[in-house]
Amino acid sequence: MSIKALGRSHLIADKGAASSSFTRFIVMVQKELLELVRSHKLFWVPLVYLLLGIMQPVSSYFMPVFLEQAGSLPEGTVIDIPKPLGSEVLAQTLQQFGTLGVLVLVLVCMGTVSGERNNGTASLILVKPISVLAFIGSKWTAMLLLTWGSLTAGYFASWYYTGLLFGEVPLAKVISSLLVMGLWLSFVISVTILFSALLRSPAAAAFSTLSGAVALSLLAGLFPKLLGWSPGALSGFAYQSAAAGIVNGGRFGWSVTSAFVCIAAAITISAGVLRRSSAVD
């Protein structure tokens, strides 16, 4: 066999191996999505985000009525609450997603890896020609699809009702704030998967993720000059983008870059931890 023919055969073999690996990855993603459907997470998580997105503009609009009907105010009390801008209502919606929305996603994702390690499913899957990185990556991809789909549905529902009740908000501002908040939630999901791979207990993984996310956000807000470049500043930048626009573009750029780096590191470390664990013995 000539050198040229030998090189061609190796190239074909490499392409076949790459195609086979990609096919196995797609099958794993389909498996994860099927599990989300069977556990009804693919339905109730978007529903929670839809409710959060709709409730914020509706509750803001009817807040004076709620206070008047409370019945505990002195007689003759006049309630005069200034009507907020539509952009301010959207920023408040993002704050709901940044608190209750994060809690829901972490609770959904906390047993993604640890649950399958505990019941032995991971060891059964990883003895097949499935790489650890594909195993982790498929779970991360499925959770990202769920996260971005839920966030998009809830945020656009909030945008629609905000336009009806308070006035139109430019689509460009909606999309930019959506992308920033989506990146923050993607970071949280990646960290949850990391702790789920590190810790056997799903509850411990959830507690570690929530504690870390809260700490990052608080520290980035308290010390913007020192930690304004960290992923924890993304939630604040999302609120800014919805309300009035991002003020410090330099810090925002560093925050986005650090988030992507941390996400990649979290997935890589998760695969490395699982490769060295008893789940693959």
**Tell me: the pLDDT tens digits for 7-18?**
444 434 344 445
Contact 91, 242 (CB under 8 A): yes
Buried residues in 106-120 as b, exposed as e (16+ CB within 10 A): bbbbbbbbbebbeee
pLDDT of residue 64 exceeding 50? yes
Contacts of 186 (CB under 8 A, 6+ apart): 144, 147, 148, 259, 263
In this prediction, residue 86 has a pLDDT band, given cuts at 50, 70 and 90, of confident
pLDDT at position 66: 67
**Tell me: the pLDDT tens digits for 122-153?**
777 777 777 888 889 999 999 999 999 999 99
Pick the closest to residue 102 from 43, 48, 41 (CA basis): 48
Model pTM greater than 0.75?
Answer: yes
pLDDT at position 280: 47
pLDDT at position 14: 45
Q: Which comes out higher in pLDDT, residue 141 or 23?
A: 141
pLDDT of residue 220 exceeding 90? no
pLDDT at position 76: 58
pLDDT at position 11: 37
Residue spans per domain, the chain: 3-280
Buried residues in 5-20 as b, exposed as e (16+ CB within 10 A): eeeeeeeeeeeeeeee
pLDDT at position 6: 34
Average pLDDT of the residues in 253-259 = 93
In this prediction, residue 82 has a pLDDT band, given cuts at 50, 70 and 90, of confident
